[in-house]
Structure 1
């Protein structure tokens, strides 16, 4: 029995390491946002009231900021192949319900990941227009216009 103890210890270590690596490589899939059912979205017809849309689809993920005339139901699915790597967006869908001035459905559209660029809903940052410069670049830009005599 003593003869087999080093062999058993090696086998147990190899099994433990194998299971650890397998656990790290098991992929995960994440579903965020509204659970978009295209059959329910297809039942929304032109002329329906906002209350009927709320009853069918529920509360929207977000609404347009001007006039509350568009409602958006956002769904995103991402996948992570390794535990230590970041996620990659696999699918993103936005169901948009557009209303007229009387809050009646004007049209409904479903946009997919192929229709636009993937954006981060959480960052709450607005990209600025123009040239992006570093902090050092901004400091150096101001030095060439310095005039100590004020003329």
Structure 2
């Protein structure tokens, strides 16, 4: 059974993108024509990213990428469009995933060690004595 392709993100229509004119179009023009960006560059609000891809689900709840598109719009300080760049899957850079685990402080105790380790840590007499010092219900002579 083949699953239908799914569009993810913001895939920009090439005909609408062609209507943007560097040096003339403003941020408001861009939003009115193709919508809000998927993201802005981390350290530069003048770089807008429109990221979209077409995927197809495959076995084991993973997706295969059929088409990937990124449109990068750069604006000057006054909000006028300066450059339009189109990137596709061929421009992507593979990233190596590190498989090691981040160490956490503490011991690696088994479930049984954790269960037995808590036995005797909490005493009901500590709770009763703290109530009597506060003049609670366990001390009826204190009105």
TM-score, normalised on structure 2?
0.61
C-alpha distance in 2 between matches for 1:108 and 1:96 = 6
**SS of structure 2 residue aligned to 1:114:** helix
Moved over 3 A (4+): 132-137
More strand by share: 2
C-alpha distance in 1 between matches for 2:42 and 2:6 = 28
**SS of structure 1 residue aligned to 2:66:** strand
Once the 2 structures are TM-superposed, how far is the Cα of residue 117 of structure 1 from its aligned partner? 3.5
Quick check: which has more Rg, 1 or 2? 2
On the 8 A contact 2:11/2:69 being kept in 1, the answer is: no
* Stretches of structure 2 lacking an aligned partner (at least 5 in a row): 104-143
- The aligned counterpart of 1:78 is 55
On the 8 A contact 1:41/1:95 being kept in 2, the answer is: no
* Stretches of structure 1 lacking an aligned partner (at least 5 in a row): 1-24, 120-126, 138-151
Structure 2 counterpart of 1:42, from 9, 14, 18: 18
Once the 2 structures are TM-superposed, how far is the Cα of residue 66 of structure 1 from its aligned partner? 2.1
Structure 2 counterpart of 1:69, from 43, 46, 50: 46
Residues 1:86 and 1:70: Cα distance change in structure 2 (over 3 Å) = same
TM-score, normalised on structure 1?
0.58
| Two-structure CA RMSD over aligned residues (Å) | 3.1
More helix by share: 1
Q: Deviations over 1:18-67 (max 9, x none)?
A: xxxxxxx2233111111320111111111211111111111111011223
> How many residues are treated as equivalent by the alignment?
104
